[in-house]
Structure 1
Amino acid sequence: MRFFFLLFLLFPLAELALLIRVGSAIGVLPTLGLLVLGGVIGVLLMRLAGFSTAWRARERIARGELPEREMLQGLVMVIGGGLIFLPGFLSDLLGLLVLFPPTRRMMLGLLQRKVELQVQRQRAFRQDFENNTPPHPQRPQRPDVIEGEWERRDK
């Protein structure tokens, strides 16, 4: 938690320092032009990622498969496009690293392992909780099912 707080404070300061350095080296107008160009490229990449993710997910669903990999890949691409959309050169560099296929695959692998570990932890906690919780005396052991008949009456 402390790490993210420091990152939240230090990242804008690093961006600002880098913008000042680049602006003093190449001038104000070229720096602003690069920032606008980065914003346009970021928006286009986010749109492209959305369309391509939706297309690949639709193909997997048509084959009867779950599109979990495509959804994660689309999420990572949207994050990369959003980083490029943010004004600043440091966020552009991070966004390009996220969009670069080898680093994206590495990030997807790490993210997938973290999700699997989280699922295993939740499953273990739930099973431990169910094993240690005595059954409630008023709660029936079978599901609550109310049987009945109905008919539709339209006016």
Structure 2
Amino acid sequence: MRLLMLFIIVIPALEIGFLLLSGKTIGVIPTVFLIILTGVIGAWLAKKQGIEAIRNVQQQMQYGQIPSDAIIDGLCILVGGLLLLTPGFITDIAGFLLLFPLSRKKIKPFFISLIRKWIDRNRITIIR
């Protein structure tokens, strides 16, 4: 519940504050340009990284391996791309961190532990 409250109330309020501060500091036009630029770069990077993740999944499946790591990469890329399409600087930073392989490698253990907790609490059901 607290996490949901953070995403619904606190993050958008902080985003609005940073956008207002940016508009006041560098101007409205440059702020709007930055928002559009990060969205375009984010979409391009998400597409590039997403195609690479799909190739990794296919390659692992060809070798008879379960592509769990590649699937987590794909999940991070999807979330990162969505965050970059959301206007705001906080979400852009989080999105870029999820799209770059070096930073994503450090963030993936958090996603894995979160998914494990959801499975342990029966919030996710694995069907075989």
TM-score range (shorter-chain normalised) is: 0.7 to 0.9
Question: For the Cα contact (< 8 Å) 2:46–2:99, is it kept in 1?
Answer: no
1:43 Cα deviation after fit: 1.1
1:44 Cα deviation after fit: 1.0
Question: For the Cα contact (< 8 Å) 2:50–2:74, is it kept in 1?
Answer: yes
CA displacement 1:65-107 (0-9 Å, x = unmatched): 1111101111102211221221111111121232344442232
Moved over 6 A (4+): none
* Matched residue, 2:50: 50
Q: Which consecutive residues of structure 2, in runs of 5 or more, have no partner in the other structure?
A: 123-128
CA distance, structure 1, for counterparts of residue 66 and residue 46 of structure 2: 22
Choose 1 or 2 for highest CA Rg. 1
Q: Once the two structures are aligned, what percentage of the paired residues are identical?
A: 31
1:118 Cα deviation after fit: 4.9
Q: Which consecutive residues of structure 1, in runs of 5 or more, have no partner in the other structure?
A: 123-155
TM-score by length of 2: 0.82
Using a 3 Å threshold, how does the CA distance of structure 1 residues 93 and 61 change in structure 2: closer, same or farther? Answer: same
Q: CA RMSD in A?
A: 2.0
CA distance, structure 2, for counterparts of residue 3 and residue 114 of structure 1: 13
SS in 1 for 2:53: helix
CA distance, structure 1, for counterparts of residue 7 and residue 121 of structure 2: 27
* Matched residue, 1:110: 110
- Higher deviation after alignment, 41-50 or 20-29: 41-50
Aligned partner of 1:3: which letter?
A: L
Using a 3 Å threshold, how does the CA distance of structure 1 residues 47 and 119 change in structure 2: closer, same or farther? Answer: same
